[in-house]
Amino acid sequence: MPDPVIQACSYILVHVPGFVRYGSKPSREIADSPGAALSVLENHLRIYDDAVAYPPNQVFIGNLRPDSLNGIEQPWYRHPLSDASRYGVYGEIMPQEEFLGLMKLADDFDLIWLEREAAPLLRGALHSHPFWKDSDLGKIDGGVDMEHIHERIENKGSLPLYFRGRIAGCIHRHHDQDDTLKAQVLMENLMAKASGALALKHLLKKADLPAKNVELLLNCSEEAAGDRYNRGGGGMAKAIGELCGCVSATGCDIKAFCVGPLYALLYAFSLVKARVFQRVAVVGGGSMAKLGMKFKGHVAKGMPILEDVLGGIAFLVTGDDGESPLVRLDGIGKHDIGSGSSQQNIMESLVLKPLDRMGKKITAVDRYAVELQNPEVTVSAGSGNVPLTNYRMIGALAVLRNEIQRGDIDRFVLKHGMPGFSPTQGHIPAAVPFLGHAVDAIKRGEMNNAMFIARGSLFLGRMTQLSDGLSFFIEKNPGKQKSTRSERKG
């Protein structure tokens, strides 16, 4: 049976300052104090060029390696990169005007009305993008008079869409009595669909794979598309695949809070190994709810609001190609229901058990990727440095196993860990932002292996007090060495 490999990865960001007000925390604050909160929020938003030049964002799309952040003085938002680029090795940072057009392109139910003057501008912006210039951009034409947009906003529960400080359109609710189809939910779902599609397009380009060759799509976004009878029913995987021309693919949505991407990858690995599918794409779009989640902390510290981007991820899992890093299916770590909730129990389940099964020491793993939230976003809001906490815990396990001395923990963290660089988009920081970097570093021979560890907060759904976690391990593919040896023999 073919061992699964990670053949390609893509990462995108979308700069959406006009949507920060619709994040869960900002929208609640604005409802409580409409004038003051909105004014404060708008005064702390970044322009697009600042989001592009922000060092962690450049790491996310692959133009910088994670370790390079150790050499950039903090705060990083005060040290923009002079040579930053919109496009990166793994994707891009899309501006809002193109994304508004992409949302309209992704809209199959006329949920979005664009204002008559804004529509051609947004159409023109999207037309300049290589992925969408050949799409049916006629959907974006035919704007609506502003008075009709205002009437919908004032009387029908539609929400305004903002661009450069003015209303550029609106999004409607699609049922008078169904809160799962109200404008805010549909906006959230449409943003996940459009950003997921952008990530998938980059993945197909990176893998040089025709869209029709994808067989299965697994969506791991954090939205909950559905209706009043089937809240969170799904359908996002196929919606994204349809937008990207994956006409031969089927698909479904995988839900597991922040650890969703790892479950989706695990299913992809297993289905490829079992020969049920040969090419599986895992895709995750961005989370509108988490925009501006820590904005009060940022504002209090006089910082720009750093949670102004949606994230998107996509991965292509195939059978062994003799080149891409192999996934060790005997190295899957899982947090059992009966494992207990202490940090030590969780880390033992996710790190030690799979390493023991593979006969490896903690220090034999070149790099650990844990939850990779950008600490500049979280520390300023009192939420701590999540990656550092997790790396210290793994280092502490290495001390308990007598692999390193207690005084070596900081060196262990520096050598086997990395600074967080991911936007706080829930499922997006879940270890996998390092997967593209790891795959390429292993292919270049700079490292041999890496372990990916993510955690999920099941208790947030109020159905259990449990948390969750999953881990997997990839290593250098010996395929080329084998073929070289056999060639020499021949």
Partner 1 sequence: MKIMFKGKRVIVFGDRDGVPGPAIAACMRAAGAEVVMVATECFV
Binders of partner 1 in range 390-449 (CB under 8 A) = 390, 424, 426, 429
Residue whose CB is less far from partner 1, 241 or 286 = 286
Vertex 132 angle, CA 131 and 135, to 5°: 130
Beta bridge partners of 217: 251, 281
- Nearest Cα to Cα of residue 345 among 392, 413, 397, 384: 397
Name the residue nearer to partner 1 (CB basis): 91 or 375: 375
312 touching partner 1, by CB under 8 A? no
285 binds partner 1 (CB under 8 A): no
Give the integer Cα–Cα distance in Å for 281 and 272.
11
Which range, of 96-104, 151-159, 234-242, 337-345, touches partner 1 by CB under 8 A?
337-345
Collapsing DSSP states into helix, strand and coil, what is residue 479?
A: helix
Instruction: State which residue, 195 or 390, has the beta carbon closest to partner 1.
Output: 390
Look at phi and psi of residue 152 and say left if phi exceeds 0, alpha if psi is from -120 to 50, else beta: alpha
Give the interface segment with partner 1, choosing from 71-79, 80-88, 238-246, 453-461 (CB under 8 A). Answer: 453-461
Question: Taking CB under 8 A as the rule, does residue 378 contact partner 1?
Answer: yes
- Select 74 or 341, whichever has its Cβ closest to partner 1: 341
Determine the Cα–Cα distance for residues 332 and 313; give it in Å rounded to an integer. Answer: 21
Amino acid found at 373: Q
Residue 34 CB partners (closer than 8 Å, separation 6+): none
Question: Which of 57/318 has CB closer to partner 1?
Answer: 57
Residue 383 touching partner 1 (CB under 8 A):
yes
Stretch that binds partner 1, among 32-40, 95-103, 119-127, 336-344 (CB under 8 A): 336-344
List residues bridging with 451 in a β-sheet. Answer: 368, 473
The piece of 67-75, 185-193, 217-225, 335-343 that touches partner 1 (CB under 8 A) is 335-343
For partner 1, give the closer residue by CB, 85 or 343.
343
Whether 87 contacts 94, CB under 8 Å: no
The contact mask relative to partner 1 for 158-197 (x = CB under 8 A, - = no) is: ----------------------------------------
First-residue to last-residue Cα distance in the chain: 25
10 Å CB burial of residue 473 (0-12, 13-18, 19+) is buried
Interface stretch with partner 1, choices 81-89, 205-213, 214-222, 338-346 (CB under 8 A): 338-346
Q: Does 373 bind partner 1 (CB under 8 A)?
A: yes
Burial state string for 350-384 with b = 16 or more CB within 10 A and e = fewer than 16: bbbbbbeeeebebeebbbbbbbbbbbbbbbbbeee
Question: Quick one: tokens of 59?
Answer: 């790491």
Work out whether 341 is an interface residue with partner 1 (CB under 8 A).
yes
Is residue 384 part of the contact set for partner 1 (CB under 8 A)?
yes
Structural contact between residues 320 and 477, judged by C-beta atoms closer than 8 angstroms = yes
Among 343, 392, 396, 400, binds partner 1 (CB under 8 A): 343
Q: Which is nearer to partner 1, 7 or 373 (CB)?
A: 373
Quote the least distance from Cβ 374 to partner 1, whole Å. Answer: 10
Token output for 233:
């029913």
Rounded to an integer, what distance in angstroms lies between the CA atom of residue 104 and that of residue 337?
43
> In the stretch 466-485, what mask flags binding to partner 1 with x, by CB under 8 A?
-x------------------
Characterize the bridge pairing of strands 367-369 and 449-456.
Answer: parallel
Tokens coding 72: 């950039």
How far apart are CB 424 and partner 1 at their closest, in Å?
5
465 binds partner 1 (CB under 8 A): yes
Under the binding rule (CB under 8 A), the answer on residue 457 touching partner 1 is yes
Select the residue interacting with partner 1 from 80, 87, 459, 479 (CB under 8 A): 459
Site residues (CB under 8 A) for partner 1? 258, 340-343, 371, 373, 378, 382-384, 386, 389-390, 424, 426, 429, 455, 457, 459-460, 465, 467
